[in-house]
Structure 1
């Protein structure tokens, strides 16, 4: 496990801070199963202007260290942020070291992409801080080894996605605000893919179908609503303020609004015990803005 560190140390010399934004799946279909056992998906990734913060401190030759936990119960060697740093360092034959601290806001296991985004931010930021200058295509290929959602965070654009989520077509999405709710349900994705009631053969869709507003469903929604009373309860609560949807294969739920005022008013009408946030959709990842600022 990583050594302890006081907040005053984190704020002191040598540290830089990088955004790791959350995402939503605005729809998600399973359109088939591949010979390798993985499933072919179609989805739209919406990057949010809200998420975790990754604090990094680089140094000369030495170990990759995680300072404090990034998620409950995740050992340092198995943590995606550590694995991302080690993968980048070995791929680039780089001797430099890094300390990593994750400031968590994104609920773990909710389908909001927190672990994948954290890993992507480590790859992008350390590529810059270590002076490696690997192209984004190479970083995205490395990210795919860590998880199917990592490449979209590396590229940093809202996107139509196919395959296991790695084939990306950038999309321009209208401004929107989202009311997010985390029911606290974390069902392992492989278990959901094995569910007998999951629809695995949806007809392939086109970007034009999404643009027309006809694609809003998530293949995992009926499965989770039947299996998890907490998810069903959140859907019923959100149905009183809008049209609820599920993101990814986690338990996270959301409603989309055209204005911040409407989203905040809807949040005020939810039961106080629900864990909820109002966040904006981003035109592009704030990580790209942080990277551009570093190069100024």
Structure 2
């Protein structure tokens, strides 16, 4: 039996870090939403009791480092599954980009194998399993738009944000999330107003969504990688309504309401950045 799953990317509309926790993780407050840029995951049952990862992308590991592999392994061990699975990943989301591509692959694997192996686990249990794999996996299990707290595993669903285009531009570098957090000075950061962002989404106020975007990791990554700052400055100059880095970077995204402006910004960015995408938010789809 085969099953096809969609694994959408996410962007952070707001990302705040409150403190360093005793367990070594950081306490965060984030507003995240999924976008219409997605990997495709094919799950195929096998009689041989093993997990196999197949991908055409040389950047996707085919062993225990792969989060989809970890998701399948966790389900097998936790629920005594003796069947195997081949996980084919058609990679469309840029790797190491701040878009949760690996986390979304893991979440899609959890959701798909829950069906394929007849486990019938509720979404909350799948999300709790996802939190054991990575901080963004719980959100990716839920999808849509949400406020995430704790280390990312405490999920409160939100309505879909106001309708708009999202332009993404990723420079040809990868960013280590661990390095970014290591260089974050918690005493000097300016905290975004997370609840103002939540209210703007609930009230469908596009201007207030743009006004309240904020990411405390941005300054760290911009200092480490000046090319990210260059993309942000150019996107602002070309006329995006609001511009911010997603996650720990290096992908920069801009919100745009009008189609005419979208095309101009997209074409301008393609002049110096190879990976540029124009997509819609998925809102509350997939929930």
Q: 218, 228, 232: which is aligned to 1:231?
A: 228
Query: Which of 65, 80, 93 is 2:80 aligned to?
Result: 93
Paired position in structure 1 for 2:17? 30
Residue 154 of structure 2 corresponds to residue 154 of structure 1 = no
1:111-150 aligned within 5 A? 111-150=98-137
Residue 263 of structure 2 is matched in structure 1 by 264
**Which residue in the other structure is 1:167 paired with?**
154
Q: How does 1:198-277 map to 2 (within 5 A)?
A: 205-212=193-200, 213=208, 214-241=211-238, 242=240, 243-274=242-273, 275-277=275-277
Q: Give 2:68's aligned residue.
A: 81
Runs of 4+ in 1 over 4 A off after TM superposition: 196-206
Cα pair distance change 1:33/1:77, threshold 3 Å? closer
Q: Is the 8 A contact 1:185 1:231 kept in 2?
A: no
| Aligned 8 A contact 1:70 1:101 in 2 | no
Alignment correspondent of 1:10: none
Cα distance in structure 2, aligned partners of 1:278 and 1:119: 24
Which residue does the alignment assign to 1:181? Answer: 169
Stretches of structure 1 lacking an aligned partner (at least 5 in a row): 1-13, 289-296
1:156 deviation in Å?
1.9
Which TM-score applies when normalising by structure 1?
A: 0.85
Pair 1:54 & 2:41 matched: yes
Q: Deviations over 1:263-295 (max 9, x none)?
A: 233212324231200000012344x5xxxxxxx
| Residue 76 of structure 1, CA deviation | 1.4
Q: 1:207 to 1:197 in 2, by over 3 A?
A: closer
Q: Which of 183, 190, 195 does residue 178 from structure 2 map onto?
A: 190
Cα 1:16/1:176, change in 2 over 3 Å: same
Contact 1:182 1:253 in 2 (8 A): yes
Q: How many residues align?
A: 274
Shift of 1:67: 2.1
Change over 3 Å in CA distance of 1:210–1:79 after alignment to 2: same
- Maintained 8 Å contact 1:67/1:99: yes
Structure 1 residues 260 and 50: CA distance shift in structure 2, 3 A? farther
Deviates more, 1:198-207 or 1:157-166: 198-207
- Tell me which moved more, 252-261 or 135-144: 252-261
The answer to whether the Cα contact below 8 Å between 2:197 and 2:213 also exists between their aligned partners in 1 is no
- Matched-pair contact (CA < 8 Å) for 1:30–1:200: no
Measure the CA separation in 2 of the matches of 1:16 and 1:92. 20
Supply the RMSD in Å over aligned alpha carbons.
2.1
Q: Is the 8 A contact 1:110 1:251 kept in 2?
A: yes
TM-score using structure 2 length: 0.88
Q: Secondary structure at the match of 1:20?
A: strand
